[in-house]
Amino acid sequence: MRDKERVTEAIEALVAEGISPTVTSVRERAGCSNANATRYLREWREEQAARQAGEADADTPPEPVTRIARRGMTVIWTEALRVAGERHEAELGRARDEVARTAGEADELARTLDALSADLTAARAEQDALRRQAAELQEALAAAERDRTAAQADRARADGEIAAARRAAEELRDELARSRTAASAVEQARRDAERARATADRDRAAATAAHQQAEATVQALREALAQARDDVRDARAETTEARKDARATREELASARDQARQELAEAREQAPQVAAAARAGTAAEREARTAAEAARTVAESELAAQAAVVARLEGELAALRPALRALTPATPAPEPGPAPHPGA
């Protein structure tokens, strides 16, 4: 069905219900736009006005007028109709002009109303969209607030974990420092033991050499005693040489011991600069210390044995001196050698 037919039916239905048709009531009843409601309502009113004008022109005089006309008043009625028609035509023209003007304004208003309706619809749609966006933003804000709260909790928890990790790192660093110190002490003890063992080896070799040399000297002296007095001087010279060698041996032992002590002191001074990467436990440290003490004990035993050898050689030399004096009574005895070094 066309819009005009729907508008006409809506107007007639409103008139039948005793309701004066307006643009709003017609638009709501017909379900059309304001422009169509205004346009077709204006056309309907023009048609009604034209129909009423035609019916007024076609009406016959009422019965009284007819009787008067019959009485010769036809001319008066005709004149009255003419005057009324002129007045009606003038008023109808003015009315039509007013209707045309009003129709133009109504059309303009209808178009404006349509535009405003469209704008209102768009505004309502935009308002709905803005409301949805506001709701989404509100929800996003709430989610962001929850995320911020969770992030703060996570940050506090992370700060606690970082502090705990730092404390653990400090403890590990302290433990590592202690382990490095222990490892350094073990390494230093091992080095001291190695140096002491090397010193003992050198001292043992020197003592062995001195012993061998002393035995050779004694053998030479014994051979000299069996020979003539002419060989006594040579034997005394050899004895003197043996005493010098023994003295040299004692000095070498003292020098080696002093050197070992000096190296040990230097090693202890350099101990803070030595950092071993390995972590040594308490058992390993005890084992290392035990090994160092054992090596030190062995070294001291070897030094004591070497001192005993030197003392034995000195005893043998002292026992040979009376025999030498008996062989050479007129010759003054040589000056005794220096006493053994304490602790040699």
Q: Kindly report, residue by residue over 256-288, the tens digit of the pLDDT.
A: 778 868 877 876 777 566 545 445 555 655 776
Helix (H, G, I), strand (E, B) or coil at 322: helix
Quick check: 11 pLDDT over 90? yes
Quick check: 331 pLDDT over 50? no
Q: What is the pLDDT of residue 344?
A: 43
**Annotated domain spans of the chain:** 3-130, 181-327
- Average confidence (pLDDT) over 128-134: 85
Q: What is the pLDDT of residue 56?
A: 60
pTM to 2 decimal places: 0.25
pLDDT band per the 50, 70, 90 thresholds, residue 311: confident
- Which of the pair, 309 or 125, is modelled with greater confidence? 125
Q: What is the pLDDT of residue 126?
A: 83
DSSP per-residue string spanning 19-71:
----HHHHHHHHT--HHHHHHHHHHHHHHHHHHHHHHHHHPPPPHHHHHHIII
DSSP per-residue string spanning 132-174:
HHHHHHHHHHHHHHHHHHHHHHHHHHHHHHHHHHHHHHHHHHH
- Average confidence (pLDDT) over 146-174: 87
Q: What is the pLDDT of residue 114?
A: 72
Any idea what the Cα angle at residue 34 is, between residues 30 and 39, rounded to 5°? 85
